[in-house]
Amino acid sequence: MANYPTTSGSRENTFDAIVIGSGISGGWAAKELCEHGLKTLVLERGRDVQHLKDYPTALKNPWDLPHRGKLPHTIARENPIVKRCYAFDETTAHFFVKDGEHPYVQEKPFDWIRGYQVGGKSLIWARQTQRWSRFDFEGPARDGFGEWPISYEDLAPWYTHVERFVGISGNRDGVETLPDGEFLPAWEMNDVEKHLSGKIRGAYADRFVVQGRCAHLTAPQAIHLEQGRGKCQARNLCYRGCPFGGYFSSNSGTLPWAARTGNLTMRPHAVVAAILHDPGSGRASGVRVIDAQTQETKEFFARVIFVNAACLNTNLILLNSQSARFPTGLGNDHDLLGRHVAFHNYRGSLAGQMEGFADSYYSGRRPTQAMMPNFRNVRKQEMDFQRGYMVFFGASRASWTQGNYLPGAGAAFKERLTRPGPWGVTMMMQGETVPRRENHVRLAADRRDAWGIPQLVTSIGYHENDEKMIQDFLEQGEAMLSAAGVKKITKTDDRRAPGLDIHEMGGVRMGADPKKSLLNRWNQLHTCPNVFVTDGACMASTGTQNPSLTFMALAARAANYAVAAMKKGTL
């Protein structure tokens, strides 16, 4: 291990562990490390956000807001990228990075959505949480584009560990492609969704429509009450920050839990420029940090470092961590760092109308949809494209608006608003994209950000495989909806740029072979074993399920491994 400097300043800046990033995976790393007694420094480049205290719009009514929640034209004009995000509006804008605040270079169009604050994007995530199945871990090696060094069985106990603390609502559906977990009571499908599920199941033996699983407390258990969290109120105002703690975030769960151990030091406004490499030990000694407000540079030291800055920023930090041993970035011996970045393909969607069910309705604003796990190329290659897609469903009744405000005034108009209209049905895809070497990020040679760090260049695009998958989804989606009795079906390929899915993964991928990967099965850099990467950057493939639960499970697993190795003296 490196010999730390012995000045008083360096002693004050020395910890057992450093976690870079306080979002959904960084929060889990911090919780596990602190619980095991490690003095842990969490570095967050954004401002501090305290649960309850710093949710300024959480309880506001539309008439309490200057623009009734809509984006002012000036903000929309100044932010052509982030305004495309479904969660970005007047009530949530303070939780998003504006386009001009941290510029990057789009060699190919890429919508990079970011949240720089304590809690990161865990305050504004969509909260959909599914376990990956064994097919998601095994398929990439079969298809020849990546090989996971772990199996579903390796991660299953850590899924359970995370689910119990987070609180996941869902049913035990017994579907092999969508493993069951430790669930709270599920939200209920409405009558039309139940009809869709039954009809599609009857027409297709391999397609299961189940209720979505999400990180919302439907029936809080003792562990959730101990966190100070309460039942989800189905308000659908989640992106403002939940004053009830009904959905999981770092701010409501893992970070307060870590803080109560007395082992957590939180440092906001800390922009990590680089990880420091000690040539004598062959390990990392610490990190170099730039204060976002004062531009002051400091160095912090630790025995282990967890990098959880969110996928692309984690790549940026490692690429900028250059030394005599690693001139092109920490761990980058085989020109793999920043490569094989992938994402989820959301371009395909369908909509239609369902006749009948006029006497059926529902209450509340349920925070999840029905969903169907992947049914393409599950056990073997069957299609003319690799991998597959998950499908999300929703059915609702139009009332006073279907994207447009109805004209009118007075008592008769108000009465009309109370009467629900016809049923509409929507369907969308979440497709797996294949990690390709050419899909990469790198440092700009001639552009720097406000902190003097090279800007990130994104060179990430779609492939013929993705186009074929979109067409298959649109064809199959139309057939499934038609079989269920949906009418007036429209199909859409919205041609969105990559990134708007906010599921970017890879660049620092796991693998067994150091010549083909950067991280081992415990998320350690092969060539710098006291650096762990446990956010989306570590992923060897994207799967078809939402990734956040897997990020959390990987972070918890790696943190516990690190603690055990430190106790043994091997780390």
| CATH number for the domain running over 7-170+243-343+435-461+500-571 | 3.50.50.60
- Predicted local distance difference test score (pLDDT) of residue 140: 94
Q: pLDDT > 70: what percent of the chain?
A: 97
Is the pLDDT confidence value at 8 over 50? no
- Give yes or no for a contact between 171 and 531, defined as CB atoms under 8 angstroms apart: no
pLDDT tens digits for 62-103? 999 999 999 999 999 999 999 999 999 999 999 999 999 999
Its pTM stands at 0.96
pLDDT at 399: 61
Assigned token pair, 180: 């069951």
Can you tell me which residue has the tokens 């041609």? Answer: 495
Residue pair 499/459 in contact by the 8 Å Cβ criterion: no
Q: Is the pLDDT reported for residue 2 higher than 70?
A: no
Nearest to 399 by CA among 349, 356, 362: 362
Residue 278 clears pLDDT 80, i.e. is over it: yes
Question: What are φ and ψ of residue 486, in 5° steps?
Answer: -75, 140
Average pLDDT for the chain: 95
Identify residue 176 by its one-letter amino acid code: E
Strands 168-169 and 183-184: parallel
| Residue 400: pLDDT over 80 | no
| Averaged pLDDT for residues 251-264 | 98
133, burial (CB in 10 Å: exposed 0-12, middle 13-18, buried 19+): buried
- Residue 1 near residue 260, CB atoms below 8 Å: no
Which residues does residue 493 pair with via DSSP β-bridges, in sequence order? 348
Nearest CA-CA partner of 430 in 506, 371, 497, 351: 371
> Cβ neighbours of residue 106 under 8 Å, at least 6 residues apart?
458
Tokens of 421: 């209209």
Phi-psi map region of 64: left, alpha, beta (phi>0 left; psi -120 to 50 alpha): alpha
Confidence band of 11 (pLDDT split at 50, 70, 90): low
Q: What is the pLDDT of residue 414?
A: 79
Q: Which two tokens stand for residue 430?
A: 């979440």
- Strands (E) in 355-452, as ranges, are 370-372, 389-397, 423-432, 440-448
Mean pLDDT of 102-109: 98
What mean pLDDT do residues 141-145 have? 91
pLDDT surpasses 70 at 9:
no
What is the per-residue pLDDT across 475-507, written as a single tens digit (0 to 9) for each? 999 999 999 999 999 999 999 999 999 999 999
Q: Report the alpha-carbon angle 531-537-538, nearest 5.
A: 65
pLDDT at 7: 44
In angstroms, the Cα distances linking 46 to 290, 297, 441 are 12, 16, 22
pLDDT value of residue 402: 46
Q: What is the rounded distance in angstroms from the CA atom of residue 391 to the CA atom of residue 213?
A: 13
Calpha distance 549→126 (Å, rounded): 12
Instruction: List the chain domain ranges.
Output: 7-170+243-343+435-461+500-571, 176-211+345-432+466-497
Residue 289 token pair: 């940090």
